[in-house]
Structure formats: structure tokens, C-alpha cells
A = this chain, B = another copy of it.
Amino acid sequence: MSRVVVDVMLKPEILDPQGDAVRAALGRLGFDSVAAVRQGKRFELALTGEVTPEAIAEVERAAGMLLANPVIEDFTVRLEDAPAAGDPASEG
């Protein structure tokens, strides 16, 4: 089982009120060194079989179709470097 990560963030030119609210809340908590926050989504996909270039291209197609809204969002697809704590192999 291979793990692929899709990061989805609002395009830089799109306002992010949610991120702004987080930054304001951090300021109220005393975290003054945070100048700006952008909030996005992260998807961890477990693929059956090997991660071939074709499999990555398929995930990119899926991301552009379902995981992200390409009008207002950018996404990146990458292999997860190390097995995460939540690796299915370690469950149960």
C-alpha cells in the first residue's frame, strides 16, 4: 500500500478569511511572530499497488476533478516520504 499526499491551498490572489481569523486568534494568544496564516486541506491517499508515474498522474487528475477547485485552489501531489503513524500496516 503506497501513500500519496495531496495538498490543496487557496490561490495566493484569493482572500483567506479563515486563515486571517486563525492569525488574529494566534495574536490574541500571544503568538506575535506569526505574520500571516493560510489554511488549506491535506488528503492522504492510500493507493493499491505501486506508485508509478501513471498512478501519480491519475491522482493529479482526481485532485483536479474532485479534491480541489482549480478555479480558486492550487494543489500539489507528492509521495509521502516515510510511512505515517497511521499506516494501515500498523493498525489493529
Chain A positions near chain B (C-beta within 8 angstroms): 1, 7-9, 11-13, 19, 22, 25-26, 29, 31, 33-49, 55, 58-59, 61-62, 65-67, 74, 84-88, 90-91
Can you name the residue of chain B whose Cβ is closest to the Cβ of A31? Answer: B62
Chain A interface, >50% SS class: mixed
A40-B41, A62-B29, A66-B29 given as contacts; is B12 within 8 A of A91 (CB)?
yes
Taking a contact as CB atoms under 8 Å apart, the answer to whether B33 and A47 are in contact is: yes
Interchain CA distance A9-B80 in the complex, whole Å: 14
- Which 6 A-B pairs give the minimum distances between C-beta atoms? A12-B86, A36-B46, A42-B42, A38-B44, A40-B42, A35-B46
Q: Which one, B12, B43, B47, B65, contacts A38 given CB within 8 A?
A: B43
Tell whether A22 pairs with B42 under 8 Å between CB atoms, given A29-B65, A62-B31: no
Residues of B within 8 A of A47 (CB): 33-35
